[in-house]
């Protein structure tokens, strides 16, 4: 016959002393949490460098192809055309790769990664804001490649380094705000192929039906009306003026207002949909 001994009663104080010897760490704030997810996105690029293909190979292809394809026909020489088309190619390339923000987010959602993020006691928007900040590094890299190649080919900005940096700053602000649209699309749709299709359907007319490649006055009247109000055209005009030291009028203000409007509308809408997504 076996006998059992009744365990001694464990007091709550003994449990607490065994589980925790130090105070609970402070809850991370919005800045530190966003920077953590920013670094996560950068590590993904480090471990999968193929992600940088769109910001390295494509800018080179676009600049060389369009400069030597249209230069003689539009401006009479590739050198003259390069001074005008490089800011446009810069805008077209960087704004186009903003779609990869939605693609990456959609893939993480489909794999269940964001289900784990939503269970963490963190500032919820950080899971979106961090990757968006990381994408600005991709935009900067693409811009640097285009400018470096342009300088080799003969591009000479009349406003010098200051004008170029101001133009790049304006481009990064607009691209960051535009990426909120693709973030929302990436949350709503069910596959990354759909994100790619929707973003291309929008970006094709915005970038090609603009003043990137040809002067608007050479287009039909009904098409000129669209080109003049196209945000891409307004951004290109502002960047050309900043880079070459030409008057830009109200284009800079308009671009900043459009950027603020995109963030004000699509930022809260994106987070609302993200919170409600099961």
pLDDT in tens, 101-125: 888 888 888 888 877 887 777 787 8
Structure tokens at 203: 């970006």
Mean pLDDT on 245-249: 84
- With beta carbons less than 8 A apart as the criterion, state whether 199 and 182 touch: yes
Q: Please give the residue that has the higher pLDDT: either 226 or 50.
A: 226
Confidence band, pLDDT 50/70/90 cuts, at residue 76:
confident
**CA neighbours closer than 13 Å in the CB half-sphere of residue 183:** 27
In the predicted model, what is the mean pLDDT of the chain? 84
Mean pLDDT of 164-172: 93
Counting residues of the chain whose pLDDT is more than 70, the rounded percentage is 90
Q: Which two tokens stand for residue 182?
A: 């693709």
| Average of per-residue pLDDT across 262-268 | 93
Helix ranges (DSSP H) in the chain: 12-19, 30-47, 53-74, 78-96, 99-110, 113-118, 126-153, 160-188, 192-208, 221-229, 231-244, 251-276
Question: Could you tell me the pTM of the whole model?
Answer: 0.83
């Amino acid at each position: 016959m076996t006998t059992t001994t009744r365990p001694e009663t464990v007091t709550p104080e003994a449990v607490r002393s065994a589980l925790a010897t130090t105070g609970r760490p402070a809850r991370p704030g919005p800045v530190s949490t966003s920077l953590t997810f920013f670094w996560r996105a950068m590590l993904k690029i480090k471990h999968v460098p193929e992600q940088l293909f769109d910001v390295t190979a494509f800018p080179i292809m676009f600049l060389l192809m369009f400069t030597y394809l249209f230069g003689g026909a539009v401006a009479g020489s590739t050198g003259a055309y390069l001074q005008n088309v490089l800011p446009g190619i810069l805008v077209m390339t960087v704004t186009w790769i903003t779609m990869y923000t939605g693609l990456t987010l959609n893939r993480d959602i489909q794999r269940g990664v964001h289900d784990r993020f939503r269970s963490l006691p963190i500032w919820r928007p950080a899971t979106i804001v961090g990757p968006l900040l990381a994408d600005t590094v991709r935009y900067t890299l693409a811009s640097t490649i285009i400018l470096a190649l342009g300088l080799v080919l003969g591009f000479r900005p009349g406003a010098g380094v200051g004008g170029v940096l101001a133009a790049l700053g304006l481009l990064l602000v607009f691209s960051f705000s535009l990426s909120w649209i693709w973030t929302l699309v990436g949350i709503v749709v069910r596959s990354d192929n759909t994100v790619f299709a929707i973003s291309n359907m929008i970006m094709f007319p915005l970038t090609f039906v603009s003043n990137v490649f040809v002067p608007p006055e050479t287009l039909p009247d009904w098409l000129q009306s669209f080109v003049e109000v196209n945000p891409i055209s307004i951004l290109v005009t502002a960047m050309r003026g900043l880079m070459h030291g030409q008057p830009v009028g109200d284009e800079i203000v308009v671009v900043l207002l459009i950027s603020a409007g995109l963030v004000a509308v699509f930022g809260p809408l994106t987070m609302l949909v993200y919170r409600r997504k099961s």
